[in-house]
Chains A and B, each alone.
Chain A
């Protein structure tokens, strides 16, 4: 036990010395430079009111990674505040909206974009609802047109019933169905009348 503290201190000291020694030999680090991720700024450096406004706008396009569906602009979390500060710093340096989004996407993945880009499988997200609406509308349109065509041909609504002659295999049930049809529709014996040729 008496040896533990000195050993720990020596180990920690060695670790710090080795890291510090490595620093001397290291080239100057391009630490956390966004230019290494998204290239040189392509826009105009912003400041003042314009910077405040654009920070909010771009923050609305970024998902707060620790929240449930909140944007960086809307979230009160410290992570969102840090991300918003980073957005502000990037915009102030002249990075464009797309460059800012790409910078965050590189670290967090496309998940961080609240508005998915139009590429790959994302087309399904954008076009899926439209396709579903068109398919549903088409189905309804065809069904209405078929119904209207049947009405024009003089067929009664009961003619449109599917399998009106079909009866269950069970004899007791079949005879019950026939009785009900006779009472409900007035068909003699429960048998549907044949359409006149």
Chain B
């Protein structure tokens, strides 16, 4: 049985298929590129728009009382601003690293804790049990937390000597990261 000769010209269906393929690729390829470029990215991580911009000013009362602490008064040296709470388990893990870094870096860097959504009595008990190397400040109504874009605790902001935010972390930090970020905050302000 002899097979008939194939048609010489491309049928309309094949032409339509090529158009459909082209259109499909035009839609799918950009989506694939976006997918590949974001493969290593945490979909829940949102970059803070405050990085590189002046840190929001605040005046917060220290735990245990005393005059309010303002950010402006600390201009001239790096500030490590750690939002935390006693009910936050990762904050427990991070606490020793922050204390160690505060002790190592001494007076050249100002460490500050900002208590998020917690009771002062519980904070005082926590600090008495686990140690304290820098002031913790009460943030009534979480107004400072909102101004900094805090979405959970712990969150730590590194502020350079000129008052700009150089980095933000939304996870418990280790000693090395803290020291490294403080160093970069210092360098960035030069």
Contact = CB atoms under 8 A, between A and B. Distances in A.
A94 interface: no
Interface string A85-123: 110000000000000000011111101000000000000
B149 A107 contact: yes
A146 B50 CA distance: 56
A116 to B, nearest CB: 14
Interface string B106-121: 0100110000010000
Contact of B46 (A22, A85, A111, A161): A111
Interface of A: 8, 11-12, 14-16, 18-20, 22-23, 25-27, 29-33, 36-37, 65-66, 78-79, 82-83, 85-86, 104-109, 111, 135, 139, 146, 160-163, 165-167, 174-175, 178, 189-192
Contacts of A174: 3
Contacts of B103: 11
A82 B70 contact: no
Given A20-B66, A31-B59, A178-B3, 8 more contacts: A15-B102, A19-B69, A29-B59, A31-B58, A82-B117, A82-B141, A108-B49, A108-B149
A23 B11 contact: no
Contacts of B146: 82-83, 86, 104, 107
Contacts, number: 145
Contacts of A109: 46-49, 149
B151 A65 contact: yes
B7 A163 contact: yes
Nearest to A194: B4
For this complex, into which size category does the number of interface residues on chain B fall? 35 or more
A107 B49 contact: yes
Contacts of B117: 78-79, 82
A29 B55 CA distance: 13
A109 B152 CA distance: 15
B40 to A, nearest CB: 19
A139 B134 CA distance: 67
Nearest to B112: A19
Contacts of A79: 117, 142, 145, 150-152
5 contacts: A29-B58, A36-B57, A109-B149, A162-B11, A162-B14
B132 A165 contact: no
Interface string B11-24: 11110010010010
Contacts of B150: 65, 79
A162 B13 contact: yes
Contacts of B66: 16, 20
B78 to A, nearest CB: 14
Residue among A14, A25, A27, A109 with most chain B CB within 10 A: A109
B161 interface: no
B3 A29 contact: no
A178 B147 CA distance: 75
B144 interface: yes
Contacts of A189: 1
A20 B67 contact: yes
B147 A107 contact: yes
